[in-house]
Structure formats: structure tokens, C-alpha cells
């Protein structure tokens, strides 16, 4: 990523300090560039073979992949090269929200992300949960089958628990009665997180 000055140094220092509080477990240091700026940069480049030196480089590489006008198989192949770089919640969540697939591609994408639900890597599982949740009404797989798959995800980390709670609260909003049993079967941590997210959604 070109490290030319995008803001004044004081602003970048404040952004960096704020992001460091929100984003633990960093594999790379934060430079201090906000996501909207990275999305703009991603639209101007096509190459993903650049050196990864900062957290923002990981985000940028994901945005470039997501924005490529290529076939679904080629895009999923490139996505496979991004998965080993994921080490934070924002790297997974911003990428999941950026990956758009057409009507003829989304079933293949669903199959791809469903397979990742069993992955041993925490943030690979998280991106799978978040993407499936975000596209729950766009795929042909029934909601109950989606919930069955998500309910089986290995919950061994705070950020997996948060993803599961986010997913369950979203499915609850879509279909309250269908989702209730899955919430009840969750462990106490996820159950409490889900209840809080549902309460928060009602305040919005």
C-alpha cells in the first residue's frame, strides 16, 4: 500500500490510537487509514501482489479481491489466498460485507462458505458465519438448514461467540419462532450476547 500522507499526522495518530483500542490480536501494526479511504484506493488498483506491512494492507487486499470483475471460481480461488491473512474481526467483517455475488453465483458461494464453518482457523469460521448470515435471504437453502449449520460451529473464542450471537439475533429478526429453539440450545455466553443484540436492535 502506498503510504503517502492521506491525512495530517495528528489525525492519523488519533485514528491509529482509536483503532488499536477496538482491534486486538493484530498480526500487523495499524497505519491509521479509515476503511472508506481504503475502499476508494481499492477501486483504483487491480494488483493484489503487494507487500503486507500494515493492518490496512490486509483490508485493502480483501477489498481489491472483492471488487474484481471475474468469475465466481476465480474469485473464490483468490479469496483462498486471503483467508490465511485474517486475524481480526474487522478483517473478516468488512470483507464479508464486500463480497457480492450474482444470482447465478451465490449458490456456489454459499457452498464455499458453508465448508468453511468447520475450519480450525477462528477468523475463517467467523467470516463464514458472517457471510452466510448476511446472505440468509438471498440463497435457496432454507433458514432452518442454515441455522443447523451455524449451530454446529465450534465455539472456542470470544469473536466466534460474538459472530454466533450476531447471526442468531439476525435470524431472530427474520423469523422469530424458527430461531428461538436455536438460541435456547446455545451456550450461556452466546445466549446472553444474542439477547443483548436483540435488545439493541429494538432500540434502533
Q: pLDDT for 81-92, tens place per residue?
A: 999 999 999 999
Residue 204 has pLDDT above 90, yes or no: no
Residue 159 has pLDDT above 60, yes or no: yes
Question: In this predicted structure, what is the pLDDT of residue 202?
Answer: 78
| Local confidence band at 26 (pLDDT 50, 70, 90 cut-offs) | confident
Cα 37 from Cα 87, distance rounded (Å): 21
Question: In this predicted structure, what is the pLDDT of residue 7?
Answer: 62
Closest to 58 measured CA to CA, from 32, 37, 88, 78 = 88
Question: In this predicted structure, what is the pLDDT of residue 3?
Answer: 46
Name the CA radius of gyration of the chain, rounded: 18
Cα 98 from Cα 180, distance rounded (Å): 29
Residue 1 has pLDDT above 70, yes or no: no
Amino acid at each position: 500500500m502506498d503510504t503517502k500522507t492521506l491525512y495530517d499526522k495528528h489525525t492519523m495518530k488519533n485514528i491509529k490510537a482509536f483503532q488499536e483500542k477496538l482491534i486486538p490480536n493484530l498480526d500487523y501494526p495499524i497505519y491509521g487509514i479509515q476503511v472508506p479511504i481504503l475502499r476508494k484506493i481499492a477501486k483504483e488498483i487491480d494488483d493484489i501482489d503487494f507487500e503486507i506491512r500494515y493492518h490496512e494492507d490486509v483490508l485493502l487486499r480483501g477489498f481489491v479481491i472483492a471488487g474484481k470483475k471475474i468469475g465466481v471460481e476465480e474469485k473464490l480461488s483468490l479469496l483462498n489466498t486471503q483467508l490465511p491473512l485474517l486475524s481480526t474481526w474487522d478483517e473478516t467483517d468488512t470483507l464479508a460485507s464486500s463480497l457480492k455475488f450474482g444470482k447465478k453465483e451465490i449458490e456456489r458461494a454459499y457452498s464455499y462458505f458453508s465448508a468453511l464453518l468447520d475450519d480450525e482457523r477462528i477468523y475463517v469460521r467467523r467470516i463464514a458465519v458472517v457471510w452466510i448470515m448476511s446472505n440468509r435471504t438471498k440463497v435457496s437453502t432454507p433458514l432452518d438448514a442454515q441455522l443447523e449449520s451455524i449451530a454446529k460451529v465450534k465455539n472456542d473464542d470470544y469473536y466466534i461467540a460474538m459472530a454466533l450471537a450476531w447471526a442468531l439475533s439476525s435470524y431472530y429478526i427474520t423469523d422469530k419462532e424458527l430461531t428461538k429453539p436455536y438460541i435456547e440450545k446455545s451456550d450461556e455466553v452466546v445466549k446472553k450476547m444474542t439477547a443483548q443484540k436483540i435488545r439493541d436492535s429494538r432500540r434502533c
